[in-house]
């Protein structure tokens, strides 16, 4: 393709002289500092109209995460200048990350803006220098994963009046049909028959009916004794807090409380395209949490599908209730390993800020698998404690356990609640409340939904051995 701009990484201490960079480097205009951008028009010796010299930092520290971020920085800079076609002159080692970063950066949450000044990159290419073996396949993988992550971002960004539980189910069905996946939607009568009292208790305050979305991927060559990965995602399409209502300030962002469920839909799209070697089933309990006249009240006691009883102390701790029944259902559907993702607690944001996903596990091997996948994909996760002592916070005088454990260790007690329903199945819980949404635009990513942890989940399934 004829590129409108060629992006050339420049490392600190390097002697970049191509395309007229030498004099600029000597003058100190190009230093290689990470994220530094220098745009040259009609560069000497380049077929592109422009060359963007992009500071890549220290060569020894340049990894896939850095390549992804740098590609995003370059794309958001160039799209603002109405560039339509971009080529990256990288060495090919990180072709998938470069393509991912470019496609993710090209996304803007502007579907409902009617202005005609929207800008977008139309084409992206990686011009591999040196050995080019596998670059095409890597770039294609990057495209698949990034498009899946952007699907998640599109769903999370939908306002609650345009994405009810039923409409989320329809979006899942549409994706499944397009990629050869099975999709089943359990409705209220089926959930009542299964005894999903925890999930239905949350849903009863809304006029919008709940849905339990089940998406199944079955590889053709899976062994009979293969692991069966269950992906469980919180799908609260809007969370008012219920009777324990949230403050008005910032409540508009509670459309993103289905970020875990949306991540499962996106992950399943990529898992199908990349043909993961093991069976994977996603379970997305979708509800609205509303303070209607039929809403559950603090002090209510519900019976979960597992048979455990729960005293509802705070109706704003609803995510763990719907996940409890979904985890039980996933186990009964034959899942041998479980990962759930949820925008579950504000407490994890207090603990880890907006940098790390909080990771909790009942099994060391499963924890290490997910941590390895998150590191490989640059979606940083931090292993949190889950000691037996924390269970004491969830004691109830009237039921088997309470749905909250008080002020202290809130993210941990929420995870402990879920652990009760994962039982002895190897399980990891990802609390993405601090990482699923950006309050401010970054140089490499638009404000709004991030699509976390799609890449981690895809890597986990794709690399399962």
397-453 pLDDT tens trace: 999 999 999 999 999 999 999 999 999 999 999 999 999 999 999 999 999 999 999
| pLDDT band with cut points at 50, 70 and 90 for residue 253 | very high
Helices (H) and strands (E) counted in the chain, each on its own, are 13, 19
Indicate if the pLDDT at residue 131 is higher than 60: no
Of 437, 412, 414, nearest to 354 (Cα)?
437
Long-range Cβ contact pairs of 437-441 (< 8 A, separation 24 or more): 437/156, 437/253, 437/256, 437/259, 437/343, 438/354, 439/354
Percent of the chain topping pLDDT 90? 88
In three-state secondary structure terms, 51 is: strand
Question: Is there a catalytic annotation at residue 216?
Answer: no
pTM for the predicted model, two decimal places: 0.96
- From residue 93, give the alpha-carbon distance in Å to each of 63, 131, 139, 455: 9, 9, 10, 18
Q: What is the mean pLDDT of the chain?
A: 95
Indicate if the pLDDT at residue 14 is higher than 80: no
Question: Is there a catalytic annotation at residue 447?
Answer: no
In three-state secondary structure terms, 126 is: strand
Q: Can you give the pLDDT at residue 48?
A: 87
Q: What is the largest CA-CA distance in the chain?
A: 78
Dist CA 94 CA 263 (whole Å): 24
Indicate if the pLDDT at residue 132 is higher than 70: no
Q: Can you give the pLDDT at residue 115?
A: 82
Active-site residue identified among 320, 367, 455, 459: 320
Task: Write down all domains in the chain, each with its CATH number in brackets.
Answer: 5-133 (3.40.220.10), 158-462 (3.40.630.10)
Q: Can you give the pLDDT at residue 24?
A: 83
392-407 pLDDT tens trace: 999 999 999 999 999 9
Dist CA 67 CA 421 (whole Å): 39
Dist CA 210 CA 187 (whole Å): 7
Q: Can you give the pLDDT at residue 385?
A: 98
Active-site residue identified among 119, 166, 218, 246: 246
């Amino acid at each position: 393709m004829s590129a409108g701009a060629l992006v050339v990484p420049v490392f600190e201490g390097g002697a970049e002289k191509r395309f007229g960079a030498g004099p600029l480097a000597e003058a100190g205009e190009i230093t290689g500092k990470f994220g530094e951008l220098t745009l040259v028009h009609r560069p000497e010796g380049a077929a592109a109209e422009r060359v963007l010299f992009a500071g890549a930092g220290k060569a020894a520290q340049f990894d896939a995460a850095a390549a992804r971020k740098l590609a995003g920085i370059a794309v958001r800079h160039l799209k603002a200048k109405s560039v339509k076609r971009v080529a990256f002159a990288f060495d090919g080692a990180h072709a998938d990350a470069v393509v991912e970063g470019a496609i993710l950066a090209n996304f803007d949450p502007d579907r409902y803006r009617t202005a005609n000044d929207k800008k977008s990159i139309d084409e992206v290419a990686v011009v591999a220098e040196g050995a080019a073996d596998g670059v095409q396949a890597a770039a294609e993988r990057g495209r698949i994963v990034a498009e899946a992550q952007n699907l998640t971002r599109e769903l999370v960004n939908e306002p609650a009046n345009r994405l009810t539980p039923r409409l989320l189910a329809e979006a899942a069905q549409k994706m499944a049909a397009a990629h050869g996946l099975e999709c089943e939607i359990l409705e209220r009568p089926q959930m009542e028959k299964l005894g999903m009292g925890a999930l239905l208790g949350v849903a009863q305050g809304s006029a919008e009916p709940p849905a339990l979305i089940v998406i199944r991927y079955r590889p053709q060559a899976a062994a009979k004794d293969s692991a069966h990965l269950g992906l469980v995602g919180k799908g609260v399409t809007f969370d008012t807090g219920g009777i324990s209502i949230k403050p008005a300030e910032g409540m508009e962002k509670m459309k993103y409380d289905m970020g875990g469920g949306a991540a499962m839909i996106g992950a399943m799209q990529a898992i199908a395209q990349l043909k993961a070697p093991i069976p994977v089933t996603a379970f997305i309990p979708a509800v609205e949490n509303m303070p209607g006249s039929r809403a559950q009240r603090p002090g209510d006691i519900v019976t979960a599908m597992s048979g455990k009883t729960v005293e509802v102390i705070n109706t704003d701790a609803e995510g763990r209730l719907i996940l409890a029944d979904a985890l039980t259902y996933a186990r009964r559907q034959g899942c041998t390993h479980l990962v759930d993702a949820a925008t579950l607690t504000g407490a994890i944001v207090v603990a880890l800020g907006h940098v790390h996903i909080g990771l909790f596990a009942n099994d060391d091997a499963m924890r290490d698998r997910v941590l390895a996948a998150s590191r490989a994909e640059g979606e940083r996760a931090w292993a949190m404690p889950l000691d037996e002592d924390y269970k004491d916070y969830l004691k109830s005088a009237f039921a088997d356990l309470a749905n909250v454990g008080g002020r202290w260790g809130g993210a941990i007690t929420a995870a402990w609640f879920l652990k009760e329903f994962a039982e002895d199945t190897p399980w990891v819980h990802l609390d993405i409340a601090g990482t699923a949404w950006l309050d401010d635009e970054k140089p490499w990513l638009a404000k709004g939904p991030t699509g976390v942890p799609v890449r981690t989940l895809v890597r986990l399934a794709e690399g399962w051995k």
